[in-house]
Amino acid sequence: MTKEKIPMLTGLRGLYKLIHTALHIPYLKDEKPVGLLIVSKPGMGKSLLLTRFRSEHLVLLNDLTGFGLERTVIELEDKGTGFIVVPDLLRPMARKIGWEAFLTLSNILLEEGLSGVRRYDADLKFKRPVNYGILTAITTDALMRNLPYLTAIGFASRFAIFNYGYEPSDCAQVEILVSRKASDDNLVYEISRGRKDKDRVGIVVNEKMAAYIRILGQRMISNNGRRYMSFRSINFMRRMVKAHALAQNRRKVTIEDIQAIHSLLPFLIDSPQVGTDLEFHILQGESERDLLKRYTRTEIIKAQERLTAKGLNREMLPENGDR
């Protein structure tokens, strides 16, 4: 598998991979962005990382008043497609009117698309429906409290839930970094490929790669109690795999793209054990020698046991020669 340079983000490399890949979906021809809900304990960097990305197709939503939402919708129409970033989902949930409006907006943007806005003084009609993905985050405890409600109203079924934690060695390293220096406010990740229709790229998926995409989608929902059907998870995986190919400047999906998205499954599968960067690196095929530079042997053994319990291993997919 081609080694990709991922920023040295202790405990957050899997999350970086997820966001970086997803943000390439708006540049794909004939694909719609997705809903992503990022989950972890408080203070683990999810909102920080979410707000560090920059793209022509990114809209940050902080103002949940009627005026703020209207202004956001007009900005969405101007950009055409992309992602709305809500760093903390609890903020809109805490505002009854704002939450109801956000729910309605999310459902429309993720499904049929928004065709216009009705105001007290005028109706704004868009030239074509606007589809946007939603990137948002919530704490583990808040998700557990609200998951039955979010599932009942159909919100959870429209989102892939990315649940992550830290290994003890990650925690120790973060403590060292924090004791030396606060977070770097200048840390920004730029994604820029153009925002016009002509800039959108078609990615080829042959029959063999399509079969692997189905495997990824079926594996993703194997433990989720059928919160949603496999069609949605396969749709999600197809978009992510194609986006990964584009991010690597390829015009067709290869086994490297399948393997890369496969390495995110520990975070996406419903399990009592959340995913960690160590599991991500094991599925990426990193050698034990390299893993031991950052993790203990005991942590590696336990991570391998968790992967087995989740039904995940490198042998699920072929080596790079099988394309």
Q: Tell me, what's the pLDDT at 226?
A: 47
pLDDT digits (tens, 9 = 90+) for 185-226: 567 788 877 666 667 899 999 999 999 999 999 888 865 544
pTM for the model stands at 0.88
Name the percent of the chain lying above pLDDT 70.
Answer: 82
Token representation of residue 321: 């020669």
The secondary structure element, H or E, covering residue 117 is strand 114-118
Q: Tell me, what's the pLDDT at 82?
A: 86
Q: Tell me, what's the pLDDT at 72?
A: 74
Please report the domains of the chain, with CATH numbers, ordered by start residue. 1-31+166-185+193-314 (no CATH), 33-163 (3.40.50)
Beta-carbon contacts of residue 312 (< 8 Å; ≥ 6 apart) = 219, 262, 265, 266, 269, 279, 283
Query: Alpha helix locations (H) across 51-136?
Result: 66-79, 90-93, 96-110
pLDDT digits (tens, 9 = 90+) for 82-119: 898 999 998 888 887 778 878 887 887 888 777 665 55
Q: Tell me, what's the pLDDT at 14?
A: 96
Q: Tell me, what's the pLDDT at 57?
A: 83
How many other β-carbons are positioned within 10 Å of the β-carbon of residue 161?
A: 20
The number of helix segments (H) and strand segments (E) in the chain equals 14, 8
Distance CA 256, CA 1 (A): 6
Q: Cβ(180)–Cβ(42) under 8 Å? A: no
Q: Which residues are registered as beta bridge partners of 190? A: 54
| Residue ranges with strand state E in 123-186 | 123-139, 159-163
Check residues 72 and 240 and name the one with the higher pLDDT: 240
DSSP state of 131: E
